Chains A and B, each alone.
Chain A
Amino acid sequence: MVVLKQEEMLSLAEDAVRFALKKGADEAEAFLYQGLTTNVVIERGQIARSSRIIDRGLGIRAIINKAIGFSYTNVFESNVTIEKTVRKALGSAKASKPDENWHSLASRKPLASVEKTYDRRIVELRSEDLVKVASVMLDAAEKTDKRVFPIEGGAGASYLSVAVANSNGIANFDYGTIIECSLATIGQQGGEVTPVCFEFNTERSYNIDPKWIGKEAARLAASALKAKKIETKSTNVILAQSAFQDLLYFTLIDAVKADFVQRNQSAFKGRIGEKVASEIVTIYDDGLFSGGLRTWRFDGEGVPQQKTLIIEKGVLRNFIYDNYTAKKEGKESTGNAARAGYLSTPNVEATNFHFMPENKSPEELISEVDDGLLVYYLQGAHSSNPASGEFSVVATPAWKIKNGEIAYATKGAMLAGNIFQVLKNISVLANNERKIGQLVAPWILVENVKVIGK
């Protein structure tokens, strides 16, 4: 399949917009997405498969009398199929109901520049190269501990490109790369099986360390063996990034989305300027973060991405907006319209949700805890109450910290609380910042979390 170039993608998008206007749309927008991915997959201790996925398509929004229609296709066989898609978007708009709050599509603005979002070396990786990467990871895991079984993982390289055009003159193109490398493991000994442990790198540049991933994934699973049940009590909890991301994704991140605020679904509604977190907490939604997993020049509506201050020294400063929610309040979009490729209309979503780090190393952080838990992974965060921020999850596993040292793994301990209380109880942020999904954050220490054990 031929890879579409910048000019081709832009002209397809602009032609679709023109055609929609000609056929009676008041406004129109076209979003083109192209993704090429090569994967090598580890299954049950061996490299067992490799795949290549080429996915591209076009999504069109057409607006007639403030009613919005959307249609998408991945069929690029001829101009006819694209014109048919435009007609379907128009048909959808005509069938739909007007939205009184609709103002207009986004307007053209100068784009900011972004750094470290593309690396030619990733595009050139073949499956043979990824097999090597995966092998290094597997070998490192096997050498580290015989009680560890690598259950799944792999290495993947993607090239993505997007184009957005609309009837307000937007015609933007961007491209980027992503490389991922991960290993999930379990520890087994004398009938005991640990929960699944994992380690990974996801980067925009070819800057991965498969040997470290393999070693670390094995070390974690081995140290999760001989787990013990613990007592119920309120205690200090260190959340590593995976656990923290899980909790935030289903609670805090929704609460700062303008859509949730406007629709009375956010506990932060009407609280701009109030203290909502511990004084050491400063958070940006940074769509321009260097090498960020969600760093792009523009968002799903062609609006430039930007760096937005969310919480400053504990005080709530801003929410994040797409074009629709911003115009509803007479504001400017913060460049937070996200799309699921070409398959969906835009939604408000965080870009790189950046908790600013402090100075302590993770070792220092642990050494200062007399009694507490180190939590790497959580299970069940998606069952949190998204409106209230209440959660009740299992730490799988956590490690007990005693007198400043990791003592043993715990079994089946539950953590219960409210994310908004957690924000207030953060007492230390470490210096070991890393990227995972939308989150960029270090380890955090939270005081007074309820742990339910035996």
Chain B
Amino acid sequence: MNKPLPKPVFEGRQCLKDVLMKIVDRTVQKFGAEYTEVRAQRLFKTMLTLKEGRVEAAKQGIENGAALRVLVNGAWGFASVGALDFETLNEAISDACKMAKAASSRLKTPIKLIETKAIEDKVVAKPREDPSKISIEDKINTTSKMSNVILGFDNHVKSCTIDYLDLTGTNYFINNEGTYIEQDKLYVWSRITATATEADAFSFSREEIGSTSGYEIFNVETPEIVGERVAKRAVEQLKAKPPKGGTFPVILGTNVVGVFAHEAFGHLAEADLTLSGSVLLDKLGKKIASNVVTFYDDGTIDGAFGSFKYDDEGIPAQKTVLIKDGVVVGLMHNRETAQKLNAKPTGNARAEDFRVEPIIRMRNTFMEPKDYSFEELVEGIKAGYYLKSFRGGQANLDGTFQVGIQEAYEIVDGKLGEPVRNASISGNTLETLLKVDAVGKDFELWPGRCGKGQTAFTCDGGPHIRVKEVLVGGSA
């Protein structure tokens, strides 16, 4: 290389901790910050993309970086840099303080944080199969096998894309209140999509796999099981007919209940969005859903894709009740919204990486099961739909939701009928929650990714449920 680059100032973990402590101390002394935190990360990624079994590229990445956040005069300042040496961090924290001062010039209500206990901890990931120790060849073999299952399932299957990602590394969190947490990160994720065609019909099917436990997820979600699930749906959807548009009674599958809990309700209960004027703002303590509806957001489920021990403000993750027997009892908070609404912090502040600030995100969001069997749920419907699996969903602050469906069936006289394609459901979340009239006894959690300006790994799910009526958008 021509240009001499600066030598690393430190090596090893102990030294990084010293650097971080020094930075935090200086910020308080020199800039008079009310609050300072530094989140340093060392991350390692392996990624694969296979298209019809062809490995497009085997990819590996290394990232180091720090996110520095301060409160000065009641306003936030934030700086992100891709380095961990003292000089760079020192410059960045001074930047962050200048940013905060500039922002504070027009502040009406100064930002305050709820008080929390200082924590010192070290969280070590203990996977049975550590993805960082598995060879790329093995990962290519697993994904290739899945690809072969899909392409060999039926000659109508025309394409198959598999994305694979594993992320490992360590997060170092420190703040000026005495909290210092070293926490390993471990994620294994894959998205599998397939398309099938016949004459003029095109169908599309997708699944995701995601875990925080380790590569052993592929022992449960094996290439054979997942491959068949994806391929079978793509082929069956070719025979499906478009739904009739209009209002119908429906059974929502566990996967659709999950996206409903997450998209239609969950986002409204993220306290930053609640405070922005979501329809839940004046509903705390009030009944908004039928008695059989209980929703949780839980960061403590072992190995689930949305689980972690501490959030990105150093708050322990917990199981948070959002709706209990139809009554809104809680919201998801960071330290700022908890202070503002006089609530306990829930450990929902998450940042995708050191490039972005932590914001309120869901973890594993689900509905609690009750006592109906699937047959009992279907029996009650003369003409309606069973919406089994979703393609995507989106919500709005006024409570308008939309969920696109990738697998659905007619229900005729209490029995499942023909497959239906490209349905979607929409309505108002609060109106719909009141129309939930029966809840199943089964339960499934589904991994996914949520976008709110940055990506978070989450799970959502629940039992099968019956909704008295919902607007089904048909195809043209």
Contact = CB atoms under 8 A, between A and B. Distances in A.
A360 B102 CA distance: 44
A74 B58 contact: no
B99 A127 contact: yes
Contacts of B3: 8, 11-12
B339 to A, nearest CB: 14
Interface stretch (A62-70, A115-123, A427-435): A62-70
B142 interface: no
Contact of B424 (A56, A131, A414): A414
B220 interface: no
B2 interface: yes
Contact of A131 (B1, B55, B95, B103): B103
Interface in B92-138: 92, 95-96, 98-100, 102-103, 105-109, 111, 135-137
B1 A12 contact: yes
A84 B44 CA distance: 13
Contact of B396 (A50, A93, A379): A379
Contact of A93 (B51, B58, B144): B58
Interface of A is mostly: mixed
Contacts of A40: 102-103
A50 B100 contact: yes
Contact of B5 (A77, A264, A389): A77
Contact of A384 (B78, B96, B203, B404): B404
Contact of B103 (A61, A96, A127, A345): A127
Interface stretch (A106-114, A191-199, A299-307): A191-199
A92 B421 CA distance: 40
Contacts of A93: 58
B422 A392 contact: yes
Contacts of B2: 11, 15
B450 interface: no
Contacts, number: 324
B61 A55 contact: no
A87 to B, nearest CB: 10
Contacts of A414: 245, 402, 424, 426, 471, 473
A128 B77 CA distance: 12
Contacts of A379: 394-396, 400-402
B178 to A, nearest CB: 24
B155 interface: no
A44 interface: yes
A135 B476 contact: no
Nearest to A188: B277
A245 B63 CA distance: 33
Interface string B309-347: 000000000000000000000000000000000000000
Interface in B327-384: 355, 357
Contact of B1 (A82, A97, A383, A394): A82
A314 interface: no
B475 A417 contact: yes
A128 B476 CA distance: 51
A199 B111 CA distance: 26
Nearest to B51: A263
A72 B61 contact: yes
Nearest to B395: A379
A50 B476 contact: no
A450 B245 contact: yes
A379 B398 CA distance: 12
Nearest to A38: B99
B424 A383 contact: yes
A96 B195 contact: no
Contacts of A265: 158-159, 195, 202
Residue in A186, A384, A412 whose Cβ sees the most chain B Cβ within 10 Å: A412
A315 B103 CA distance: 52
A88 to B, nearest CB: 5
A454 B245 CA distance: 10
10 contacts: A1-B91, A11-B2, A54-B81, A68-B55, A79-B5, A135-B106, A264-B197, A380-B403, A385-B391, A452-B473
Given A51-B79, A54-B81, A383-B394, 5 more contacts: A54-B82, A68-B57, A135-B106, A412-B427, A414-B471
